[in-house]
Amino acid sequence: MVELIETEISGTLPRATARSDADRFDPSRAESGEPSGTQSIGRAVGLLRQLAATRNRGAGLSELVEASGLAKPTCRRILLALIEAGLAEQDPITRRYFLGPEAYVLGTVAADRFGLHRLAADSVTRLARETGDAAFLQVRRDWSVVCLQREDGDFPIRSHVLAAGDRHPIGCGAGGITLAAAMPDAEIEASFEANDALLAARYPMLNRPLMRDLVAEARQLGYGLNRGLLFPGSWGMGMVVRDERGRPNACLSLAAIESRMQPDRQAQLAELLREEVRRVEARIAETGLSQDDRAPATAGAQRRKVGERR
């Protein structure tokens, strides 16, 4: 029996290099007398994202302090406020922190508005069943790609490098390559600039020339392909999903061990992805769901077929 050592991206909390601008001290704000409320909200949202990344494992205070870059008293104070609001909770025995019940309520309510998950859920499940591998729905959020859903197939050796809630910069992983390939070149370069510090800190195996080559290959193939760049032996491929206006803010993707995603099988997997993309896009057209109307705006998003020359 082959034993797989499971590695999860979410097992390590994002470091302080991934903090938003709201988390960084700006002297001009202090000089202008601007209230610190926005900064506090940004820090609280950052902690919530870190808790979401740990899922059922939860996080200790020291982990959250290290990941956020916040002082321990500040981190503890924000966590207490989140607990009071029901957005976080602390296990009385282990003292680890988790997302709270109010986070579930808010997410459930928001799901009705951000309806792509509901429209694509059957397709993700079907891909996992028909391929035997892991299948995903990923969406673009600003300069990142977020996994909304994961379904596992029945093949006994699985790739556990991506789970619901995980977030990567555009251009990283199969989903990131897929969505980058559907973006205008200028927007791709803007995403590299926006994620420059994060890419250098957490993705040293990637550089801009390599990422540009992967985008060019995806445009030629019609799907994004990640040959184990983030985690050796874990391969992935993805295909873009467009809304009724043709905007590429989501993708369906697959992940498997290297031996199950060689060229002789890629064509079969690509056809399965293509069929499910057609189904999801048909549902989007029927419901009138426009992804950009339901999600944070992404600058310069335009319709371009994968493989179109620029």
Taking only the tens place, the pLDDT of each residue in 161-203 is: 888 888 999 999 999 999 999 999 999 999 999 999 999 999 9
* Angle value at C-alpha 139, between 15 and 309, nearest 5 degrees: 110
Asked if 269 and 206 count as a contact pair (C-beta separation under 8 A), the reply is no
Query: 3-state DSSP call for residue 197?
Result: helix
AA letter at 179: L
Q: Which residue has the tokens 């467009």?
A: 242
Q: Give the fold, CATH level 3, of 114-294.
A: Beta-Lactamase (3.30.450)
Same fold, 9-107 and 114-294: no
SS3 of 219-245: HHHCCEEEECCCCCCEEEEEEEEECCC
Q: Give backbone dihedrals phi and psi of 98, rounded to 5 degrees, phi first.
A: -140, 165
pLDDT of 113 = 58
pLDDT (tens digit, 9 = 90+) per residue, 60-113?
999 999 989 999 999 999 999 999 999 999 999 999 999 999 988 887 766 655
Q: Mean pLDDT score of the chain, rounded to an integer?
A: 82
AA letter at 61: L
pLDDT (mean) for 243-268: 94
Residue 14 has pLDDT above 80, yes or no: no
pLDDT of 111 = 65
Asked if 114 and 121 count as a contact pair (C-beta separation under 8 A), the reply is no
CA pair distance 151, 134, nearest whole angstrom: 6
Q: Is the pTM of this model over 0.85?
A: no
pLDDT of 251 = 97
Residue 35 has pLDDT above 50, yes or no: no
Domain ranges of the chain: 9-107, 114-294
- Parallel, antiparallel, or unpaired for β 134-141 and 97-99? unpaired
* Angle value at C-alpha 221, between 230 and 162, nearest 5 degrees: 30
Radius of gyration of the chain (CA): 20
- Parallel, antiparallel, or unpaired for β 167-169 and 234-242? unpaired
pLDDT of 115 = 75
Percent with pLDDT over 70 in the chain:
79
DSSP-derived secondary structure letter, 95: -
pLDDT (tens digit, 9 = 90+) per residue, 235-252?
999 999 998 889 998 999
pLDDT bucket at 31, cuts 50 / 70 / 90: very low
Residue 17 has pLDDT above 50, yes or no: no
* Angle value at C-alpha 138, between 141 and 102, nearest 5 degrees: 70
pLDDT (tens digit, 9 = 90+) per residue, 127-142?
999 999 999 999 998 8
CA pair distance 44, 39, nearest whole angstrom: 9
pLDDT bucket at 37, cuts 50 / 70 / 90: confident
Lowest mean pLDDT among 22-26, 49-53, 106-110, 149-153: 22-26
pLDDT of 36 = 61
Percent with pLDDT over 90 in the chain:
61
pLDDT bucket at 11, cuts 50 / 70 / 90: very low
pLDDT of 290 = 56
**CATH code for residues 9-107:** 1.10.10.10
CA pair distance 38, 236, nearest whole angstrom: 38
Sign of the CA dihedral with 246 first, then 135, 225, and 276 last: negative
